[in-house]
Amino acid sequence: MPIKCFFLLLIVCLYPGGAFALDDSQTRVVGIFDSETSRNPIGVREVYGAELNVINHYISNLGSTATTFNIVTPDAAPTSIQINTQELVQRALAMWTPAEFTFNSIAGYPERGRRGILIELVDIPTDESLAWTIFNNMGTTGQTRIRVNRSFIEQHGESAYRMALYNHSIDAGISLRSYIEMLFFNTILHEVGHGLGLTHPLLNGQFDSNNNYCRTIVPASITQKSPTIMLDGATQGQSYFGVQAGVLGRGITIDDIRPSTSDIAGARIMYRGGAYSLWHIDVEAP
């Protein structure tokens, strides 16, 4: 059964002053299992039929160089912003490739029966979600659909930007355009994580909304200095921007947004499937 994961625009929480300690729910990595009784996570390689360790991904409507967002601003006409969404997608995908696979870019929509990950923009003004991922396993089509809701970014992007500046979760020199790039980039990184079988850390030991069982595959570690990119923006105190700003002790830029080394290890486990060990120690370089 597909998993539909909603990622809300609550990524501007205030980080506390002084020392900031990551808790278990901010560093552990959780994956999808076949069932509650199964000891093994699903095998993403089998899901996508990834021959030669290559996962196909499809870009349907992101434009060749620029995608326009008409950002709603208070008491003024919308601000038209263009960002290179294709470049940001490629940058995000490249950050997952240390997990022992690569992505093969294909323009357009996947043909019927062709497995892979589809990334597309949608315009749904009535949907209060920034993005969602429908993860399909072997029981369906072997296709995953990642949808980013441009309407939500246009309606809420400017207010979220002002709040992020106020809360110091982004660098003070970040422009509105740069913030929209950061938001889109973070969203793609997070949703691709779902496409690789990862889920939100707070779902450890629980069933998700589609009755898929979720379990820790990489435990929290005191050596892990970065939060998981899979933090659920819908849960207060679990926003990636705010938590990462707290870790670094400053407002972040796009260069600070990345999967943790534990995320990469988790993606590797999900890709391989089969038996795994929780006795995994991942030391992140300072």
pLDDT tens digits along 90-131: 999 999 999 889 999 887 777 767 889 999 899 998 888 899
Stretch 127-148: mean pLDDT, rounded? 80
Residues 88, 63: contact at Cβ < 8 Å?
no
Eight-state DSSP code of residue 112: T
pLDDT in tens, 43-86: 888 888 877 788 988 887 766 668 999 999 887 888 999 999 99
- Give the integer Cα–Cα distance in Å for 153 and 147: 12
Listed residue (194, 51, 221, 53) closest to 136, CA to CA: 194
Q: What was the pLDDT predicted at 280?
A: 44
Provide mean pLDDT across the span 209-223: 84
Q: Where are the domains of the chain?
A: 3-272
Q: In whole angstroms, what is the distance from residue 151 CA to residue 232 CA?
A: 20
Topology at the third CATH level for domain 3-272 = Collagenase (Catalytic Domain) (3.40.390)
Q: How many CA atoms lie within 13 A of 170 on its CB side?
A: 25
**Across 149-159, average pLDDT:** 94
Contacts of 208 (CB under 8 A, 6+ apart): 3, 5, 32, 199, 214
Q: Token digits for 143?
A: 């296709």
Other beta carbons within 10 Å of 284: 13
Average pLDDT of span 21-42? 84
Question: Which neighbouring-strand residues pair with 216?
Answer: 30
